[in-house]
Structures are given as structure tokens and as C-alpha cells.
């Protein structure tokens, strides 16, 4: 493979384009950056297409080891200079690694339907750090899938991928355009909808959760609209002893999701 | 007051300098950006020194209302152009508001010592978003203070202030340089140390927490060192049904902190 050095090269421009939804949609690809994320993606069976590495940024034997593993898998690997890496990176301080993978195409039919399944969802979240953190929580707690409803940042935005610590790989992820798609998903899965809302009366810790539980968290700014609330079987809130203060949405999602999976454990 | 327009003006340079620890230390000031944050700071009694507003960015009557409140308080308010605002802002898309406040100087003696008090702490957290989110959680759950041990990002970094949604105002915040300062704090408060560690055996949900509970969360990358672990009365972990996956540190802090405050409620 020839060395990639020019910030104007086709490779650099393609990678850079994956920062935007349009670039990902048109190419069917998404970007991964950093040794840890790429190693994780390999282990989780991501459909990696090719990788870039910058030997000038190598700092440990783990870099050589990862390069060996990519070559063993016959994955195209391109050497890249620091100058080109900086031009294509979505981060301010790029590490020596970047890769490109096929966007997965999940459908409702792919989602697990065990007796106890948590589907963790968000409504119109615009903050990529929060969305990635939520996906990471879902993965750590053994949720069956994540979903977004309405105009959320998409799951393969580079900032979401990074905040998810690679959890976007392998976990089923669904983007539902609106409330009717949510209704259709709930019907197919036989799942019930639980919504978290600051105005709800029920303390989440005292609630009984359904076996197939779609837990939907509203945005911090706007909460949840009427056409979603109508579909809810249960509304819960996290009590705030600190008064009118609110929790970060990803933290609230984590606290409630933990409680749901804990109930599943004790039911089994 | 005269209009501030030049990106080279003293005011712009001062505000910009508050992005770095050195600038804050030398001036004894910190920066706040955005209408919501400034309004919150006013309500929570921050020692605001002066404010900047950019009428070209005003979008609602709430802007006029905030301006009125600042004038009522005789706070110096400087009109600023969009050009100057962009030059001084720490965010990519500045809103029409910025302000400067005195850095608070908390000491251990200022911390509440109620029968049930949670002190929420971090060890060497470098991510400002996570630190701010943790402070916000502490505030929402009614914790008595936050503290950091070792080389953490500082509480008045603009990204921390923003992620805290203003919770850094009013909540006692302590920066402890090392393990011996932690020991001194625990002694003065009569608090016991609980550490969260992925390797701990005790499930956090089955643990019994001390009445004055200093809960310390390690960094995601490095956990907690021996000189901290030695001081711990209790080590807990959040079980991860999803296998080897980990939670974001701010989410883990939220899940455990919630459990501690819930125990306090039921003890009372």
C-alpha cells in the first residue's frame, strides 16, 4: 500500500465526510478512531473495511500487535502520515489509528425477544456525548437494543461512537422516525412502553416493570410529546432530593435502566 | 458602558484567559456562558462580577428579562458585538450571554456535617464533561459537597461549568492534591470512605453505606491506587450483566450515589 500523506487525498476526504450524516448515508460507512475502539470493534465482529495507521504515533507494543491482527485478517491497512491523519481526524488530538466499517442495517425483526428484555430508547437527543454514553450503558447492563425516536443525533456520528466506547458495534440500534414507528415496534416485539418524565408521579424505584420493557427517555430540553405519552403503559420519574435540580439525561437513563435490569434478575 | 467590538480588546482577552487553569488562578475568576447558566447562577447566589450581552443574538423576551434583572442588581453589564463574542467564547456556537464570577474558596470547615451526608468525589478524572455531569448529579441528589483527588480537571473549567448545568455554583467543591489531604478531610468530617472499583467483590446494591459517606469514583482508565484503597472502609462495584463492558464513570457515579441517598431516606 502506498503512503497517504496529502490532506487533499481521496482517502482523507472520504474519511472526513463520515463526520456528517450525508457522508455516512451515501457511502454506507462509518468511522472509528483510536486503537482501543478499533480493537474492541474487531473483537465484537464489526464489518471493518479498512484501517489507517500512523507509525509516528505508535507508543506501545499494543500498536504492533493490533497491526498484526489486522494483517492476519487480510484487512486492507494504509500507512498514513501525521499530517494526513490530522486532516482527516474528527478529534483534536488524533491517536495513531483510524478505520472504516460498514453501517449495520438493523430491523425490528433482528431484535432479541427473550422473556426479560430491556430496549433502551431516547426521544430527540441532540447531544452526541449523551447518546453514546446511553448506548454504552445499554451494552454494559445487557440491554437487547437501543432505539431513538424523532430527530436525534444518529448512532454512527463519530462523537457518539467515541462516547459509546465501541458499544455501537454489535448492539442492535434502531432509528424510528416518529411515534407511529415506535407503536409498530412495540407491537412486533410485544413490548410495553415505559417513559421517564420529570413530571410523572410514580417514583421509578417503587415501580413494577414489564418483562419486555421499552424504556424511553425524553430530551432534557423538551421532555416527551403527547403522541408518545399516549402510548406509555407506565410513567416514572427519578426523585430529586436536591430540589428543582435535574439530572443529566444519560445519568437518569442509567439509574432507571439499572433498576429495570435488577428487577429482571430477581424475577428469574 | 461602551460597546465591545474588537476581538483584541482587554475584556475579550481576559474572558478568553479563563478557559485555562492559569487564567482562573491569576484572576480569581471563572466564566459562565449562556442565558440559562447565568440565570441559574443569579438564583443560586453566585458572586457575579459583570456580564456581557449581545442584543443581536437575543431571541426571546427572556433575554430582556435577564438584562433587567442584572441591571436591578447593579451588576456591570457590557454590550458586545457578535464578532467579539465569537472571539471570546469557549463554545463553537455562542449564545448571546457571558458572565464572570469570583472563584469560591471552599475549605473542609464549610462542608455540611448532617447525620446523613453524601460527599461525592472523583480520582483523577480528566474528562470535563464527566466531571460536570457528576457535579450535576451530586446537586440533584442533594449531596453535601463534591471533591476531587489528584490531578483532575478543575471544577471551574468552562466545559465542567457547562456540563454541570450550573451546579458548580453554590455546592461546596474541594480539590484535594493527594491521598493525605483526603485522609485529613475524612478525619475532620467524621466521614467514611467508600470506593467504587470494577474489581471489588461487593455488589453496591447489597451494601450498607455509612451515615457520612465519602463516595470516591476512580478514573475509567486507571481505577484507584493503593494509597487510596488503604483508606477505604468499603469497596463496591456495579455488576455488569453485559459481560466485560464498562459503564461511563459519571453514569456509574450516578447509579451508586442514587443508592446511597435512597438508603439515607429510608434510615430517616
Q: Is B129 in Cβ contact with A245 (below 8 Å)?
A: no
Position A221 pLDDT exceeds 90: no
| Mean pLDDT across chain A | 93
Q: Which residues contact B129 (CB under 8 A, 6 or more apart)?
A: A129, B159, B163, B250
Angle at B149 between CA B144 and CA B153, to 5 degrees: 95
Neighbours of B205 (CB within 10 A): 15
pLDDT tens column, B205-215: 999 999 999 99
Question: How would you classify residue B49: left for phi > 0, otherwise alpha for psi between -120 and 50, otherwise beta?
Answer: alpha
Instruction: Give contacts of A245 with chain B, Cβ < 8 Å.
Output: 136, 139-140, 165, 167
Facing residues of B120 across strands?
B146, B215
Instruction: Give contacts of A139 with chain B, Cβ < 8 Å.
Output: 242, 245
* Rounded CA separation A132/B154 (Å): 24
* Rounded CA separation B88/B33 (Å): 10
Q: Which residues contact A105 (CB under 8 A, 6 or more apart)?
A: none
pLDDT tens column, A242-262: 766 789 999 999 999 999 999
* Rounded CA separation A217/B47 (Å): 35
* Rounded CA separation B11/B20 (Å): 16
At residue B86, the pLDDT reads 92
- Mean pLDDT over A231-240 rounds to 94
Q: ipTM more than 0.90?
A: yes
At residue B82, the pLDDT reads 94
Q: Which residues of chain B have pLDDT under 50?
A: none
Facing residues of A120 across strands?
A146, A215
Residue of chain A whose Cα is closest to the Cα of B258: A255
Residue of chain B whose Cα is closest to the Cα of A264: B241
Q: Is B245 in Cβ contact with A136 (below 8 Å)?
A: yes
Residues from A contacting B (CB-CB < 8 Å) are: 129, 133, 136-137, 139-143, 163, 165, 167, 205, 238, 240-243, 245-248, 250-252, 254-255, 258, 261-262, 265
For residue B25, which of B157, B134, B143, B126 has the smallest C-alpha distance? B157
pLDDT tens column, A103-149: 999 999 999 999 999 999 999 999 999 999 999 999 999 999 999 99
The cell numbers describing B264, all together, are 439515607
Tell me the HSE value of A232 on the side-chain side, using a 13 A CA sphere: 20
Q: Is A142 in Cβ contact with B241 (below 8 Å)?
A: yes
Instruction: Give contacts of B258 with chain A, Cβ < 8 Å.
Output: 238, 255
Q: Is A45 exposed, middle or buried (0-12, 13-18, 19+ CB in 10 A)?
A: exposed
- The Cα of A101 is separated from the nearest Cα of chain B by a number of Å equal to 21
3-state secondary structure chain B: CCCECCCCCHHHHHHHHCCCHHHHHHHCEEEEECHHHHHHHHHCCCCEEEEEECHHHCCCHHHHHHHHHHHHCCCCEEEECHHHHHHHCCCCCCCCEEEEEECCCCCHHHCCCCCCEEEEEEECCCCHHHHHHHHHHHHHCCCCEEEEECCCCCCCCHHHHHHCCCCCCCCCEEEECCHHHHHHHHHHHCCEEEEECCCCCEEHHHCCCCCEEEEEECECCCECCHHHHCCCCEEEECCCCCCCCCCCHHHHHHHHHHHHHHHHHHHC
* Rounded CA separation A108/A173 (Å): 9
Instruction: Give contacts of A137 with chain B, Cβ < 8 Å.
Output: 247-248, 251
Could you tell me how many residues make up chain A? 268
Q: Is A247 in Cβ contact with B251 (below 8 Å)?
A: no
Give the global pTM.
0.94
Q: Is A205 in Cβ contact with B140 (below 8 Å)?
A: no
Cβ-contact A259, A165 below 8 angstroms: no
Cβ-contact B31, B155 below 8 angstroms: no
pLDDT tens column, B120-143: 999 999 999 999 999 999 999 999
The cell numbers describing A14, all together, are 472520504
Q: Is A142 in Cβ contact with B246 (below 8 Å)?
A: no
At residue B244, the pLDDT reads 63
Number of residue pairs across A and B with CB atoms under 8 Å? 93
Cβ-contact B53, B96 below 8 angstroms: yes
Per the listing, cell 478525619 goes with: B187
Residues from B contacting A (CB-CB < 8 Å) are: 129, 133, 136-137, 139-143, 163, 165, 167, 205, 238, 240-243, 245-248, 250-252, 254-255, 258, 261-262, 265
* Rounded CA separation B237/A110 (Å): 32
For residue A123, which of A146, A145, A148 has the smallest C-alpha distance? A148
A162-177 CB burial, b ≥16 within 10 A, e <16? bbbbbbbbebbbbebe
Q: Which of A167, A240, A255 sits opposite B255 (nearest CB)?
A: A255
Beta A97-102 vs A29-33: how paired, if at all? Answer: antiparallel
Q: Which of B143, B248, B258 sits opposite A137 (nearest CB)?
A: B248
* Rounded CA separation A77/A52 (Å): 6
- The Cα of A248 is separated from the nearest Cα of chain B by a number of Å equal to 6
At residue A242, the pLDDT reads 75
The cell numbers describing A61, all together, are 507494543
Q: What single DSSP character describes residue A44?
A: T
Q: Is B245 in Cβ contact with A140 (below 8 Å)?
A: yes
Position A1 pLDDT exceeds 80: no
At residue B1, the pLDDT reads 56
pLDDT tens column, A12-69: 999 999 999 999 999 999 999 999 999 999 998 889 999 999 999 998 999 999 999 9
Give the three-class secondary structure for A138. helix
Q: Would you say the C-alpha torsion A94, A97, A100, A103 has a positive or negative sign?
A: negative
Neighbours of B199 (CB within 10 A): 9
Question: How would you classify residue B254: left for phi > 0, otherwise alpha for psi between -120 and 50, otherwise beta?
Answer: alpha
At residue A230, the pLDDT reads 96
At residue A244, the pLDDT reads 63
Neighbours of A52 (CB within 10 A): 26
Could you tell me how many residues make up chain B? 268
Neighbours of A104 (CB within 10 A): 18
pLDDT band at A169 (very low <50, low <70, confident <90, very high): very high
* Rounded CA separation A10/A81 (Å): 14
Amino acid at each position: 500500500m502506498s503512503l497517504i500523506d496529502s490532506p487533499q487525498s481521496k482517502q482523507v476526504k472520504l474519511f472526513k465526510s463520515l463526520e456528517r450524516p450525508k457522508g455516512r448515508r451515501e457511502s454506507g460507512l462509518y468511522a472509528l478512531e483510536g486503537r482501543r475502539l478499533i480493537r474492541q470493534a474487531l473483537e465484537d465482529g464489526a464489518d471493518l473495511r479498512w484501517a489507517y495507521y500512523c507509525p509516528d504515533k505508535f507508543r506501545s507494543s499494543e500498536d504492533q500487535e493490533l497491526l498484526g491482527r489486522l494483517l492476519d485478517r487480510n484487512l486492507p491497512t494504509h500507512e498514513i502520515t501525521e499530517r494526513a491523519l490530522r486532516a482527516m481526524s474528527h478529534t483534536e488530538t488524533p491517536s495513531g489509528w483510524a478505520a472504516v466499517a460498514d453501517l449495520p442495517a438493523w430491523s425490528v425483526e433482528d431484535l432479541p425477544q427473550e422473556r426479560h428484555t430491556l430496549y433502551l430508547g431516547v426521544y430527540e437527543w441532540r447531544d452526541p456525548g449523551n447518546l453514546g454514553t446511553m448506548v454504552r450503558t445499554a451494552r454494559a447492563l445487557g440491554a437487547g437494543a437501543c432505539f431513538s425516536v424523532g430527530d436525534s443525533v444518529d448512532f454512527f456520528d463519530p462523537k457518539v461512537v467515541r462516547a459509546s466506547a465501541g458499544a455501537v458495534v454489535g448492539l442492535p440500534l434502531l432509528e424510528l422516525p416518529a411515534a407511529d414507528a415506535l407503536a409498530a415496534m412495540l407491537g412486533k416485539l410485544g413490548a410495553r412502553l415505559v417513559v421517564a418524565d420529570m413530571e410523572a408521579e410514580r417514583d421509578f424505584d417503587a415501580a413494577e416493570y414489564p418483562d419486555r420493557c421499552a424504556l424511553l427517555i425524553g430530551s432534557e430540553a423538551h421532555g416527551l410529546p403527547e403522541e408518545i405519552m399516549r402510548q406509555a403503559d407506565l410513567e416514572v420519574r427519578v426523585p430529586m432530593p436536591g430540589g428543582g435540580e435535574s439530572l443529566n439525561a444519560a445519568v437518569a437513563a442509567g439509574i432507571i435502566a439499572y433498576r429495570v435490569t435488577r428487577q429482571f434478575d430477581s424475577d428469574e
